[in-house]
Amino acid sequence: MRLGKFKIFTFVKPSSTATMFSHVIAQFLSEQLGEPITWSADVGKQDLDTLVVVAGGSPFCGCLPALARGVLRSERVIFVQNDYHSKFPTPTGKGKSPYRAAFRLRRKRGMSDPDWWTTLEEKSRLTENSALINWNMLAWNPSPTLAPLNWDTLFYYGSWRKERVPLFDKYFLRPFYITYVANNSGRFEERYPRCRHVQTSRQTLVDEMRRHGAGLFMEDPESGRHNTSLPCRFYEMLGAGVPMFFDASSWDTMKRHGYDVSEYVVNGPRDVGNLMSDRKRAARAQRDWRQDFRTLVTEDLMEAAT
């Protein structure tokens, strides 16, 4: 379904140094679709065929009333999402902000419900013109030289979420190997003093992961329940040449996406120790998974937009 006259809206001003991956997605959309990003009250100043709303940072938006006008002045609204934590308005929601109320008004006026360009399979089936797009593939940025793997240390990075704590506890309360955790929240340092802790940015992440012998990949229950696409860290570690050890919780998801990880599955810290000595062979084998992921996500976007 063609976009016609459209705008791409982000809740905050785009930044190349921001940690939120939504900034990467918005910039990619702008480049591929040939439309500048809008984050100001200009979003509500004209009628549109399509308004594309990129998830991320809505509490910091300074123009929600204007965005509400933009929603009501657009024939079609598309939500762009890569995280099940993103909270979007619904036509039956009870949110009181003008922005959330606008979607109730759309339904009351007989306008279409929002479409989704999303990493969540369940959301991609909500409307006929929604699409499953793995935005996380945009994290693919292969290093010119692969990680040297000189150190037998385990590396993990990811957001602190309560549904992940049981998995974190399994590996980080009593780590068998020297384990580094990268997160800027402060919560990991407090709960897991036996790990070593580093801070990274999106710009320094690859350099940090290349200092370690292997990366830990785990899937929390919510990700599995929503049938999400593979996360950014899969493509980032693969691009850096760091071998991945997969917690057993992620086995089914990896299989569903076409990756046989049976040789690299771990159930706890001691399994990590057993695999670490074979990490260079694992890294060589996992190189077979590398492909031009950015082209794949570009093709999916263009198919959804035309």
Does the domain spanning 154-289 belong to CATH 3.40.50.2000?
Answer: yes
Mean pLDDT across 151-166: 92
Q: Find the distance separating the first CA and the last CA of the chain, reported in whole Å.
A: 5
Q: Of all residues in the chain, what percent carry a pLDDT higher than 90?
A: 76
pLDDT single digits (tens) 168-218: 999 999 998 899 999 888 899 999 999 999 998 888 899 999 999 999 999
Q: Which range (92-96, 112-116, 125-129, 253-257) has the least confidence?
A: 92-96
Give Cβ neighbours of residue 93 (< 8 Å, ≥ 6 apart). Answer: 100, 103, 104
Distances (CA, A) of 305 to 52, 79, 119, 156, 237: 11, 13, 16, 36, 30
Cβ-based neighbours of 284, under 8 Å, separated by 6 or more: none
Q: Maximum CA pair distance of the chain?
A: 63
Indicate the pTM of the whole model: 0.93
pLDDT at res. 56? 84
- For 129, the enclosing helix (H) or strand (E) is none
What is the predicted pLDDT for the residue at 18?
75
Mean pLDDT, all residues of the chain: 93
| 123 vs 227: which has the higher pLDDT | 123
Domain boundaries, the chain: 6-135+295-305, 154-289
